[in-house]
């Protein structure tokens, strides 16, 4: 969780009241290899693998996020701004400060929404946790 993470050069916390709580560690996983070409010769044991061209699959990553706002109006402004940005046409640039890296991603789906009122230092806040699944382009 870091306040320096960004989406398309917009700070997640400052511009969307959003923080990524968990899931960024999954971005560090090396992508799965695509199937290689094979020949299964009847006169030979096993298979022959063509390993001259190595290609990888794109990754699908689920991030646990939270939006905190002063009231419902502020929540909906942040919510709509974030989803307008993340669902733009084309790949979006997700910068993760902990990794010092920008990932090209696009939106897939959301789920597991939980809305609660938090009382922080005697001040009510709207606190919404959710998961967002993104597709990460393999470089």
Contacts of 89 (CB under 8 A, 6+ apart): none
d(CA 89, CA 92): 8
pTM of the shown model: 0.75
**What is the DSSP track for 73-106?**
HHHHHHHHHHHHHHTSSS-EEEEEGGGTEEEEEE
Tell me the three state secondary structure of residue 16: helix
Domain ranges of the chain: 6-27+57-136
What is the β-pairing status of strands 18-22 and 59-69?
antiparallel
Tens-level pLDDT at each residue, the chain (139 residues): 457 889 999 999 888 889 888 888 888 888 888 887 777 677 777 777 777 788 888 888 999 999 888 888 888 999 999 999 999 999 999 999 888 889 999 998 988 877 776 655 666 777 888 999 998 888 7
Q: What is the CATH number of domain 6-27+57-136?
A: 2.40.30
Alpha-carbon span 125 to 105, nearest angstrom: 30
């Amino acid at each position: 969780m870091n306040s320096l993470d960004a989406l398309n050069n917009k700070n997640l916390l400052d511009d969307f009241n959003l923080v990524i709580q968990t899931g960024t560690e999954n971005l560090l996983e090396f992508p799965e290899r695509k199937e290689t070409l094979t020949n299964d010769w009847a006169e030979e044991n096993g298979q022959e693998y063509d390993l001259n061209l190595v290609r990888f699959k794109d990754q699908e990553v689920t991030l646990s996020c939270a939006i905190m706002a002063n009231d419902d109006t502020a929540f909906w402004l942040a919510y709509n701004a974030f989803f307008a940005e993340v669902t733009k046409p084309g790949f979006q640039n997700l910068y993760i400060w902990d990794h010092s890296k920008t990932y090209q991603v696009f939106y897939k789906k959301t789920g597991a929404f939980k809305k609660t009122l938090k009382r922080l230092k005697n001040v009510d806040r709207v606190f919404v946790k959710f998961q967002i699944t993104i597709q990460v382009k393999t470089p």
